[in-house]
Structures are given as C-alpha cells and as structure tokens.
Amino acid sequence: MRPRDVSIAAVFAVTACVPTPVRWDDEVARRSGALADSVQLTLDSTTADGVALVPRWTPPTWPDEASLCVATRRATLATAGEAYASWFTVQADSSVLLRVARSDDGGLSWNAAVTADAMDRGRAGCARPVPYIAADSLNGYVHLVYYLDAAEGAGLFFTHTMERGALFHEPVPIVYGDRPSMAAVASRGDTVVVAYEDPNSRMPRLGLALSRLQGHIFEHRLAVSDETGEARTPLVAFRGTRLAVAWTATQRGGASPRTVIRFGSIDW
C-alpha cells in the first residue's frame, strides 16, 4: 500500500466511529457578489448577518527574499507588535518552498525567514493557490494551510508552529487530490478548523476538517456546501463554540456569484 493510501485509510479509521461535532443552524446568510481574496471573515454580533468581511492585514514592508511569489503573500497580526508573513519561494526547477517570517514591530522589520514546508515536487512555480496563515491570540500558535505536490501525493496540507515561527511541525495532510484548491484556517486554543475546496469532487464544493489536538490530528471531516452549484474561495471564523464558514457560490444556469455564509456550533 502506498504512503498516500495509508494516510487516507488512517483518516477514515479515525473519523468513521466519531460523531460529527458540528451542529449547523437551519438558516444561512447570503450577500451579493463573490468573496474577494483580499478579505478575511470574522464573527461580529453587531452586523445584520453576524459576520464581518474585513481587509487582510498587509505589513508596511515585506521580507527581502529573492524569487518569492509576490501574488501569494499574506500576513496576519497575532498580538500587538508581533506579526507573521508567509509566501512561496520558487526554486530553480519551479517547485516551491513554503516560507514564513516573524516581525516584532508590526511589520517594519523582519527576522530571518524559515522554511515551513519543503515537500513540493511540482513544477507550477507561482501558478498555485496562495497559502493561508492565521495566528491564535489565545496561545500564540501560528497555523498554515496550503496546496502543493508532495512526493506522497498532491493535496492540501497543514502545518503550525508553537515556537513563534522558529520551528514548524511535520505537515499533516488535510485531503489529497490533483486539482489545486484553496483553503482557510481558524483556531481557538486546542481547536483548529480548516475550510477547503474539495480537490476531488466533480463539482467544486467545500469541506471542513476539525481538530481538537492543535492540528496534530484532524479527527473530523465533513461536507459544508451542497451540490446545487459551485462553491469556491472558502473563509472560516471560529470563536468560543461559534463557527462560520463563507464561500463564493455560483449556481447552475449562469447566475451571478454570491457569498454564502453558513453558521454552526462545535460541540466536542
């Protein structure tokens, strides 16, 4: 059995006998237009639909590194003054390294970047979905989800650091599949939630992976969107036990895209 098959079998062995912990609300919220890649989702009780779409934080400067994919750069502010940035750096053979740097002054200057994942064996260069990075203000951990073509198989992977960006843990597969896909991650303490485009579905749809072990193992995977149309560009927000997942939905028949937001609660 190939390593990829072993990993998939292990996932199903872990999740098959565990009840799904998400209780979805009956209603979903809808907004006109597609989700922009430059926004992030937050839970906000002051808005009519309970969420806010806010611009991603962009640092005033950027780590000076040759061959980085400028179009894929993203950053997130963890605590006052402490910030993290992630990007892909293209190698000579058009594979990439996932790189991360920490700033201690809000992005004005950066510590030396480290490689968070060097597994890529693809040849796509910068023509790939952007990595998504998020920092947890509760424990300071930094999480990343990203798509690459590893030796064990192409797919979406997760890694994180508990050491303020100095060391990243062994990547964990979220789902294998040959179609490049986007993902987003949110966390609160030990609970980590990843929303992702399913790289294997006939029609683009979204899945959710959940971990209560800081992302070392994802015990649950479940579908989020239905099969009535395409679902892309996922975002996720999580606070307390409250969960929100947003995506761009395109219905059959050529209707204009819209943003769909689904709410639920996590009950371990």
Report the C-alpha gap between 251 and 69 in whole angstroms: 32
Task: Check whether 12 has a pLDDT greater than 90.
Answer: no
Q: Is 7 helix (H, G, I), strand (E, B) or coil?
A: helix
Average pLDDT over every residue of 115-136? 95
Residue 14 confidence class, pLDDT cut points 50, 70, 90: very low
Average pLDDT over every residue of 19-35? 92
Average pLDDT over every residue of 84-90? 95
When divided into structural domains, the chain yields a total of 1
Domain of 182, in residue numbers: 3-266
Task: Check whether 162 has a pLDDT greater than 70.
Answer: yes
Average pLDDT over every residue of 61-79? 88
pTM, entire model: 0.91
Mean pLDDT score across all residues of the chain:
90
Average pLDDT over every residue of 26-31? 93
**37: alpha, beta or left? (left if phi > 0; alpha if psi -120 to 50):** alpha
For 193-234, the pLDDT digits (tens) are 999 999 999 889 999 999 999 999 999 999 999 877 899 999
Percentage with pLDDT > 90 across the chain: 76
Task: Check whether 13 has a pLDDT greater than 90.
Answer: no
Average pLDDT over every residue of 91-111? 95
Q: What is the CATH number of the domain that holds 53?
A: 2.115.10
pLDDT at 5: 46
Residue 80 confidence class, pLDDT cut points 50, 70, 90: confident
pLDDT at 18: 54
Report the C-alpha gap between 145 and 192 in whole angstroms: 11
Task: Check whether 100 has a pLDDT greater than 70.
Answer: yes
Chain-centre distance for alpha carbon 226: 20
Helices (H) and strands (E) in the chain, counts: 1, 18
pLDDT at 268: 81
pLDDT at 148: 95
Report the C-alpha gap between 253 and 228 in whole angstroms: 11
